[in-house]
A and B are shown apart, each in its own frame.
Chain A
């Protein structure tokens, strides 16, 4: 039975196996078709070059360095040491700076709250008023009238002159 020589058939042959693995009859079929068909010619050329570059790429192999075995064994010991330390100890190792600084801050706040003497009522009286206490504590008598405010301002101006 004659083989179908369509472009699809040719590219299927090319994609089915590497050029190097094609049989002689398959290669002849592809080459014969490529002589007449431009797109199959470029497909064949591309497949041929792909096979060449892949072979070259496969030859690029990094060899182990003489120190590789030592390096792996050192990494292995380190890994075993890490695994032998209990989970809490590992957690403490990574979090000890944070926990220590938090403990110090708490201790400092404790000292400030309990160790320092409390303020006396007199000291409280001398301490600054909050805006709220001034407003809420004001009586009608404490408030200056509009005229009093104006006269105070003009008195200051007169003094300046």
Chain B
């Protein structure tokens, strides 16, 4: 089915390629969202993925799924885009916002706030903050495994890395993120005690 669609698109059937885009854009957007949060950047990356996929349709042999093949193209395209970006945000503890400090304080005290859109956003901002200590590749591995509960094998398939490489990346990334989070917690506690005095 996937192979037929790919073959039709390859010989110039526009409707077949449009169907590929319609069917798999949620998956491609989900991959791009790991790397970018701004809609315009996610869309730009996703478009790049489909244009690249169109030119490489001939290399899709139908051994795996079209979704898996596109996931791999999406991962590599996004990694290249992030690597090519001029600046990546640096990890800092000093500019922790009041919301972030408060979230950390509540979570640390064990009285986790009720889940809400605002709290989810604050937690995501904190995630981006701690993830900034990692290389784009390590971010990718950790977000897939710890964020999306992907297996080592799934990450290996999506990235083209060996399973042992994925394990090493995930271990190293988890350690760095934990250490960054310890720094943030220390700063949040200090900020909170200053606010109470």
Contacts and interface: CB of A to CB of B under 8 A. Distances in A.
Contacts of B185: 42, 45-46, 49
Contacts of B147: 54-55, 57-58
Contacts of B142: 54
A68 B146 contact: no
Contacts of A51: 146
Given A45-B108, A60-B124, A73 B32 contact: no
A130 to B, nearest CB: 55
A75 interface: yes
B25 A76 contact: no
Contact of A62 (B42, B50, B108): B42
B33 A61 contact: yes
Interface in B98-148: 104, 107-108, 120, 123-124, 126-128, 130-131, 142-143, 145-148
Interface string A39-78: 0001101110111111111111111110011011101100
A56 B127 contact: yes
Nearest to B32: A62
B179 A46 contact: yes
Contacts of A18: 145-146, 174
Interface stretch (B16-24, B61-69, B72-80, B82-90): B16-24
Contacts of A59: 120, 124
Given A53-B130, A56-B127, A60-B37, A15 B120 contact: no
A59 B131 CA distance: 15
A72 B107 contact: no
Contacts of B51: 72, 75-76, 79
A46 B126 CA distance: 12
B146 A54 contact: yes
Nearest to B146: A18
B91 interface: no
A50 B178 contact: yes
Interface string A5-24: 00000010011111010000
B177 interface: yes
Given A57-B123, A60-B120, A69-B21, 4 more contacts: A11-B175, A49-B108, A53-B127, A76-B54
21 contacts: A11-B175, A15-B175, A18-B174, A43-B182, A50-B130, A50-B178, A52-B107, A53-B181, A54-B177, A57-B128, A60-B120, A62-B29, A62-B32, A62-B43, A64-B25, A68-B25, A69-B18, A72-B51, A73-B21, A75-B51, A79-B54
